[in-house]
Amino acid sequence: MENFLIFVAPVLVVVLSVAFLFWWGARVPRKKS
């Protein structure tokens, strides 16, 4: 079980970070740069 968590944790972090970046990019358009 510990090995499963060690394998899933980094993948989950990457997925959440990418999803957050897409959500943030959709919420805050960068047209006013």
What pLDDT is stored for residue 32 in this prediction? 61
What pLDDT is stored for residue 2 in this prediction? 85
pTM: 0.58
The amino acid at residue 26 is A
What pLDDT is stored for residue 21 in this prediction? 94
What pLDDT is stored for residue 1 in this prediction? 77
CA neighbor of 33 nearest in space, from 18, 25, 20, 19: 25
Who wins on pLDDT, 29 or 22? 22
